[in-house]
Structure 1
Amino acid sequence: MLTVQRISVFILIFILTFSAPYLASAASIEITPAVKASLDKTIAAADRNKAAQITRLYNDFIALNDQNVINEGQIKYLHDANEQSLLHLNKQMKKIDADKINRLDAQVKQARDRYKPLLASYTSVNKQISLARMTGNKTLISFLTPRPMY
């Protein structure tokens, strides 16, 4: 009888000890009715000191588990609040210097429109150079290839 009690106490302590590190990363641990009934039998079979110790450990475990549930709720709330703050800050960041950015975008568009014919001619010449290289005509390639002006 004493050996069964010691084994039961050892198993309970083993479960409580090795489940504690995972409390922070896992969801709350549910004590099933079968586990609770087994624990009650162990407490009933144990002597007064061991029963008090097991009961105290169980109550500590329940308190820690409840605190873990509360902490997980707070973490979820803070995570959601941080996400909302991040969205708000991203919207505000887009507004910073928005007028200046719009003005610069307009200047870029004007420059592209102004130099569109020149850029089109560069594109055309580069296509002609590519075709000349395909044919292998060295005279045509040297004629079309731009030379640096010194």
Structure 2
Amino acid sequence: MFIFKPLHLFTSLIALSLFLTLPSISTAATSILPFSPTVQTAFDKLTADADSASASQLKKQYDSLLSAQQQEDTWDGKITALHYRNEEALVAIRQRIKQLNQEQLAKLAADVKQTKERYQPLFDLYASLRKQQEAAKLLQSKELNTVLKAQLEQTKRAVQLAKLDIKNKTDAYSKLKAATVLKVKQTRAILETASSQRIKIRSAKSSISSTRKLITAEGKLLTQSVKKGDAAAASRSFAKLLTLQQSILDKKQTIYSSEEQIAAIITKANTLLAS
């Protein structure tokens, strides 16, 4: 049975909130086709009254434009799904960056502290013996000075070993701390490279927004032409709309490609973090 861990729950909730707040990229608001019932009736009459070549051309253009719109819907679904996965992955890796080696570092830091505390009585003893030796020198007691000197030498060796033990453990902590800081810095640097892809996405979205305005305007001209029964004008509008719609499809592919690049960057960062 799958156990939903707290981190999984946290990342999923954050990613879901990001997903729910994403601006809609659906084509529903700007789709020209299918026509409304009134316009569709006028279009059917237009193709029925037009010569066979014109009627065939209009129907082909209609189908091509409808297909292009459906392709955009497909791209929208793929983009949204991949963007959702990327956002979830970003939340997760940022959590891992914060937690990197924190447990090991805490243990090493505690070990250093405990080791220092354990050896403190030895250090205190050594300091006390030195003071006693200084006092013995002042008293000019050779016998006491000899005894204290022997004790001091023996204690000094123990102190040296204690300091070496503390140094080794402090070095182990410092080494892991430095390695952790470096890896975090390198991982964040890798993630930062995704910013160029986000710029491309924003640029593509801006271009799409501008193109939609042109589609809306041309769509109105198409509707007018259809209602007027002007086959030539309707065909010209269809041609313009197809060009504009293809431009949007190209931008949607660019957005998806950028999301793929972001996914690859996240994977690269995860690989480094796990090494």
Shorter-chain TM band: 0.3 to 0.5
Between 1 and 2, higher relative CO (CA 8 Å, sep ≥ 6) is seen in 2
**TM-score after normalising by structure 2:** 0.27
The structure in which a higher percent of residues are helix is 2
